[in-house]
């Protein structure tokens, strides 16, 4: 596989496709052999091209397609591209019925029937077997495929009714190859645009090129809505979300997917009618995913109704049900919900969504750890002093006083988002990146967290409520805000012991993390909003003075997506002294794709990838950890400490720290650990 082909494969992979690049002469040359673009390499390539039997080329293509389909991260929507003789091989690979899109760049020898042993291939004869969409791109000045040869191929495609697009450019043979005198960057750019348009449309979702063409969306509501009125509503939602506009062609494709069904509460046959609607195979594919955007108390009743009319039966097609946190309010209610759901669903059908796990930066935690050789040797008790996981907000509870007072910071954020972040931060390396392997390591880590000692909770957990104060708002100006208890009184709630600040110290009982405290905190009305993982390393072997700074690694999730490493460096001059420097690596670069976390998770749902969803074992492990804290705090009616809105962590929260030299990092910026 030559360097230009490797770069082509990397370009495709960079657009979100899974790319396999086979060596076509593996039977004749040692693996890894590269035939150079010189006289000797060209001669050898031409010899092998007519030495290998045509059916061996075909079996290679089938093997690669089967490999891709076997991968857990593959949607099963297959495309093929090829250049030069590879263009001819792509043409033949397109004869496989599961290939939906094929791109052939100046494909040689199709018109001459000169591929393979005996130089008598049947490619044109079999052109009628191509069921997917074809894109042919040619160079008019290509001596290997002259005008009469191109016309012969085109005429055959017309004869058999192939769906194809045809482009001829004023270019030579190999104008796509980005080395050598024939390379034409302008034509190459045009060709890439054509390729991506086809692959995104046929293999991808809509805007990101990944939605299957036959996919439909059935929105279910209580009231009756006219078909055109519903689509107009969708357009108004999109107009509000994308104020700078959107691609009209993509919109037309997307809006055509949408349908509406009125599921009236007083209609006893509503679910039966919905089953009849979805059973229309001319309109709806039969692989179905349900997003239950309903109250948590309605999850089980809705699933029971769906099951009653056969809509979750997987005997012929897959059926998946998505539910959104909270998954119960404690361990007992979570297990009760699970029991009611699994009367009708297998665990593999249940997708428990936590939108937090769809954030690119959260998903990047694992790759930051395992894709960088410098971190893994240090990621253990021998080198790390402690770890802080933070989710702080400037915002208060707003209009959610009733909900929040019944929930609190611990159950709202700690039990779900933060424990999942901890699992990604501390888990062992999965054996591979399949959903089952990632989930298995997260579950193992959560189950290894030491149970809370409720009798000594005051040394392991801390809670407080925000009082009136002044916070920095979005435009940089200060704003006076009310305290939590005042907001509750405004809404008729006279008193509360619900925490808006929660900090917990956790221990992980395994060999890697023995003796390393994990400090997890979440709070509202803080001095700044940030979500980050801060890893403080132990003191260096060489200590120049008692106040020497310890190294920090900070993985910031929001508002900045960045990785920061703080190190010591010598100050230039005669004295031996150091200062702290921050190596900043923004993980989001200009031009990077920006996808909403819900979009990411919905795509995972459709692909059958549960790695970013919660397994019941994760839910149970998290509630087992949190329940003792909730129960102990609920029984303690002592008034909660008040911290002023807009301030840093209350100093009293330091009670959970193990040593005097441990303290909260209040900012991801350099100096954010000053005490």
Active site residue 417: yes
Partners of residue 553 on adjacent β-strands: 535, 565
Q: How far is CA 401 from the centre of its chain?
A: 32
Helices marked H in 310-434: 331-341, 360-370, 401-409, 419-426
Q: Residue written as tokens 């229309």?
A: 280
Phi, psi at 10, each rounded to 5°: -65, -40
Of the candidates 469, 496, 412, which has an alpha carbon nearest to the alpha carbon of residue 643? 469
Distance CA 604, CA 435 (A): 10
Structure tokens at 141: 């000045």
Which position has the token pair 């005996």? 118
DSSP 8-state code for residue 410: I
Residues contacting residue 207 through CB under 8 Å, at least 6 positions apart: 246, 247, 250
Measured distance CA(227)–CA(49) in Å, rounded:
57
Instruction: State the Cα–Cα distance between residues 506 and 384, nearest whole angstrom.
Output: 15
Burial (0-12, 13-18, 19+ Cβ within 10 Å), 497: middle
> Which run of H or of E encompasses 472?
strand 469-472
3-state DSSP assignment of residue 46: helix
Sign of the Cα pseudo-torsion (425, 433, 591, 241, in order): negative
- What SS3 state is found at 490? helix
Burial 197-233 (b: 16+ CB within 10 A, else e): ebbbbbbbbbbbbbbbeebeebebeeeebeeeebbee
The answer to whether residues 197 and 240 touch, using CB atoms and an 8 Å cutoff, is no
Catalytic position from the list 417, 477, 527, 615? 417
Instruction: Please state whether beta strands 319-324 and 552-558 pair in parallel, antiparallel, or not at all (unpaired).
Output: unpaired
Torsion angle of the four alpha carbons 491, 495, 501, 506, in this order, in degrees rounded to the nearest 10? -130
Torsion of CA 406, 410, 415, 421, to 10 degrees: 140
Quote the Cα angle for 24-25-31, to 5°. Answer: 100
Helical packing angle, 248-255 and 227-241, nearest 10°: 140
Structure tokens at 245: 């506009």
Nearest residue to 44 via CA among 24, 19, 16, 72 = 24
Give the 3-state secondary structure of residue 254: helix
Residues carrying an active site annotation: 417
């Amino acid at each position: 596989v030559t360097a230009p082909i490797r770069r082509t494969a990397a370009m495709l992979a960079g657009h979100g496709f899974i790319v396999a690049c086979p060596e076509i002469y593996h039977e004749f040359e040692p693996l890894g052999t590269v035939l150079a673009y010189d006289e000797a390499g060209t001669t050898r390539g031409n010899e092998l091209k007519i030495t290998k039997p045509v059916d061996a080329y075909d079996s290679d293509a089938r093997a690669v397609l089967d490999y891709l389909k076997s991968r857990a991260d593959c949607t099963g929507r297959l495309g093929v591209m090829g250049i030069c003789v590879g263009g001819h091989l792509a043409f033949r690979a397109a004869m496989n019925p599961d290939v939906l899109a094929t791109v052939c760049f100046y494909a040689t020898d199709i018109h001459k029937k000169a591929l393979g042993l005996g130089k008598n291939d049947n490619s044109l004869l079999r052109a009628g077997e191509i069921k997917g969409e074809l894109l042919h791109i040619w160079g008019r000045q290509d001596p290997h495929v002259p005008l009469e040869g191109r016309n012969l191929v085109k005429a055959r495609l017309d004869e058999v009714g192939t769906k194809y697009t045809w482009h001829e450019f004023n270019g030579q043979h190999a104008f796509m190859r980005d080395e050598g005198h024939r390379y034409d960057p302008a034509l190459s750019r045009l060709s890439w645009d054509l390729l991506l348009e086809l692959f995104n449309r046929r293999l991808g979702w809509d805007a990101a090129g990944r939605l299957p063409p036959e996919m439909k969306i059935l929105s279910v509501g209580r009231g009756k809505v006219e078909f055109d009125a519903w689509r107009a509503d969708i357009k108004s939602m999109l107009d509000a979300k994308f104020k700078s506009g959107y691609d009209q062609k993509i919109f037309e494709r997307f809006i055509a997917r949408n349908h509406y069904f009125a599921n009236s509460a007083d209609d006893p046959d509503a679910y039966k009618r919905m089953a009849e609607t979805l059973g229309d195979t001319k309109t709806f594919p039969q692989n179905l995913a349900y997003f239950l955007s309903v109250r948590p108390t309605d999850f089980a009743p809705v699933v029971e109704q769906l099951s009653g009319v056969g809509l979750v039966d997987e005997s012929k097609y897959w059926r998946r049900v998505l539910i959104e946190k909270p998954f119960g309010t404690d361990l007992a209610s979570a297990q009760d919900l699970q029991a009611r759901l699994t009367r009708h669903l297998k665990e593999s059908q249940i997708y428990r969504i936590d939108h937090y796990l769809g954030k690119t930066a959260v998903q990047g935690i694992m790759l930051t750890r395992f894709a960088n050789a410098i971190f893994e040797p240090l990621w253990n008790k021998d080198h790390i002093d402690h770890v802080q996981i933070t989710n702080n907000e400037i915002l208060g509870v707003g209009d959610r006083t009733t909900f929040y007072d019944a929930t609190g910071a611990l159950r709202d954020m700690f039990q779900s988002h933060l424990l999942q972040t901890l699992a990604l931060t501390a888990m062992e390396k999965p054996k591979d990146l399949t959903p089952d392997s990632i989930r298995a390591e997260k579950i193992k880590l959560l189950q290894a967290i030491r149970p809370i000692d409720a009798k000594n909770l005051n040394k392991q957990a801390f809670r407080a409520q925000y009082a009136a104060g002044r916070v920095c708002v979005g435009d940089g100006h200060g704003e006076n805000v009310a305290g939590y208890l005042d907001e509750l009184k405004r809404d008729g709630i006279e008193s509360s012991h619900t925490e808006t600040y929660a900090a917990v110290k956790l221990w992980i009982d395994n060999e890697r993390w023995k003796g390393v405290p994990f400090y997890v905190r979440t709070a509202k009305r803080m001095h700044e909003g940030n979500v980050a993982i801060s890893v403080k390393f132990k003191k260096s072997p060489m200590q120049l003075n008692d106040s020497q700074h310890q190294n920090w690694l900070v993985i910031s999730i929001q508002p900045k997506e960045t990785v920061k490493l703080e190190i010591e460096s010598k100050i230039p001059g005669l004295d031996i002294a150091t200062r702290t420097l921050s190596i900043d690596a923004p993980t989001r670069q200009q031009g990077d794709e920006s996808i909403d976390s819900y979009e990411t998770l919905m795509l995972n749902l459709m692909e059958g990838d549960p790695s970013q969803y919660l397994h019941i074992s994760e839910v149970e492990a998290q509630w087992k950890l949190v329940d003792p804290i909730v129960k102990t705090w609920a029984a303690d009616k002592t008034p909660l400490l008040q911290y002023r809105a807009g301030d840093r962590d209350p100093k009293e929260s330091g009670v959970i720290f193990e040593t005097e030299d441990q303290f909260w990092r209040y900012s991801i910026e350099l100096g954010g650990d000053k005490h």
